[in-house]
Each structure stands twice: as C-alpha cells, then as structure tokens.
Structure 1
Amino acid sequence: MAAAIGIKGHCAQCDMTFELKPWQLNAIAVDIPFDCTYCHCGLQLCCHKQLRQFRALDQWALVRPSMIMLTCATLVVALVAEWLGLLSMIAQFNLSLATVLIHFLVVRYARHRQRMTLELQVISPLPVEQLARIACARLSQQ
C-alpha cells in the first residue's frame, strides 16, 4: 500500500492526529486493533463509510503510472502526426499542452482522493483469557 501515503489517524481518546505507519494501515485493512502512539490505548476503525473509502484506495494506485503512459503515448502520436504533416506545429503544441494539463489535473485529483484522516475509535481491551484462546486457536491453525 505504498500509494496510500498521506493517510492520518485521529485518536478519539487523546484527540491527537498522527500519520499512520504502513503496519498500522495493514492492521486497519485486516481489521486488527493497534495501539495509539500517544496514549497507548487500543484503536480500531469502526466507521463503515471510512472503511469503504480506505479499501477503495487500491483503485487509485495505478492512476499515476497509467497517466504517465497515456501522456507519453499522446505526445508521441502528436509529434508523429506533426512530422507527417497531419497537424500544424501550433496544433501539435496545443495538443501537447492540453495533454500535459490533463495529466497534472488527474494526478492531483488522485492525490486528493488518497489523503484522508481516519477517525479511530477506542476499543475495550480483551481479557487475558480471551487473548490466550485466540493465540491458541491461531497457533493450532498453522
């Protein structure tokens, strides 16, 4: 999830906002609670709307590389069309300028959609007996 840079978490307990680390993003993705870096209480994403937005980040991961490929292909086609005489130099310049402008607008919109602040809710700690049962169950599965 390297494309998800810029995701922040807001702790409901200590009211602090902090940048989420990759292991915290993975914990949110697989619905496992993790500790707040400030107050050390257990946090978990409970809002279904934010969870859907978080899981939809994978759709935006390939926008930048695909826009680079599309922009390069369009610039090459415009250059070849101008070289063959199908476009004038001014038309080729205008097409290239419009292509680069569209490229930057789409990449900026994708980055805007990737930046979010997740409202993390405090969860009650599990009793030691439940944690021991969960650990035994996970170890027996392996």
Structure 2
Amino acid sequence: MTAVIGSIRGHCAQCDMTFVLKPWQLNAIAIDVPFDCTYCHSGLQLLCHKQLRQFRALDQWALVRPSMIILTCATLLVALVAEWVGLLSVIGQFNISLVAVFIHCLVVRYARHRQKMTLNLQVIHPLPLEQLARIACARLCQQ
C-alpha cells in the first residue's frame, strides 16, 4: 500500500476524529487486525464490507501513474520521430503532444481522486477476561 498516491483517512466512531492513517495502520486494515485510535486509544477496525472492497481495490490504481508516464513518453517520442521523418507537420506533432499530455493529466488526476477516501472505523470492544481465559484454556488443551 505504500505505492498509493492519495491520502487515506480514518474516522473514529468513538471520539469522532478524522486522521490520516499511517502505513502500519493501513497494513492492519488490510489484514483485518484491530489497532488503537491515535486520539482516544480505543480499538478500531474496518467493518463495512463496501469500504473494505474499495480499500482492497486501491492496489489496482497503484500502477496507473508509472504506466501513464511510459505511455506519454512513448507517444511524444513517436510523434517527434514521425515529424522528423516527415509524416507529420510541426503543427500536427504539437497537437499530438498536447493531447497526450492532456490525457496524461486527466488520467492521473482521476486516479488520485479515486485513491482519496475516508474509512469509517468502528470501535472493537475487547473480550471479557473470562472469555479470553476460556479461549486460552481451549487452545492449551488442543496442544
């Protein structure tokens, strides 16, 4: 998730604060592990399935920017060679270059827009001590 361009924010349901999620918090969300709120220190976890799908789909947008850089450079190079060989006029090469740079800017801006999100994090109450003791006993008995 470190290749993400946009900023992902979390909204704590307990203290009603919104904060930028750190990389370790993003990793905790990705592997479905609760983590502490920066402000109120209560356990938080992403429980909304729709937001979880959107969060996991961020990997698809990670390669858009490098791919667009390569595509734009290749288009500019082809237009330059075509103008140099004589297949295009200078105005035609300039128009192709402008369209390529414009499309590049639009696609990268759309990708950044798709990557900015605020996740609604729900409070996870810790298990009572009796339940934790029963779980621990059951696991020890299995070994």
**With structure 2 as the length reference, what TM-score do the two structures score?**
0.90
Aligned to 1:88: 89
Aligned to 1:120: 121
Change in 2 beyond 3 A, CA 1:26/1:90: same
Change in 2 beyond 3 A, CA 1:61/1:131: farther
- Unaligned segments of structure 1, at least 5 residues: 138-142
Number of equivalent positions: 137
Whole-angstrom CA distance in 1 between matches of 2:19 and 2:34: 16
Show the 5 A alignment for 1:55-134.
Answer: 55-128=56-129, 130=132, 133=135
Whole-angstrom CA distance in 1 between matches of 2:3 and 2:73: 21
Whole-angstrom CA distance in 2 between matches of 1:85 and 1:45: 58
Cα offset, 1:131, TM superposition = 7.9
Whole-angstrom CA distance in 2 between matches of 1:76 and 1:41: 54
- SS class of match (2:33): coil
Whole-angstrom CA distance in 2 between matches of 1:59 and 1:10: 24
Whole-angstrom CA distance in 1 between matches of 2:132 and 2:86: 75
**With structure 1 as the length reference, what TM-score do the two structures score?**
0.90
The superposition leaves residues 29-87 of structure 1 with CA deviations (integer Å, 9 ceiling, x where unpaired) of 00000010101111000000000000000000000000000000000000000001000
Change in 2 beyond 3 A, CA 1:94/1:132: farther
Identity of aligned residues (%): 77
Aligned to 1:2: 2
- Unaligned segments of structure 2, at least 5 residues: none
Whole-angstrom CA distance in 1 between matches of 2:26 and 2:65: 21
Aligned to 1:53: 54
- SS class of match (1:2): coil
Cα offset, 1:22, TM superposition = 0.4
Change in 2 beyond 3 A, CA 1:131/1:68: farther
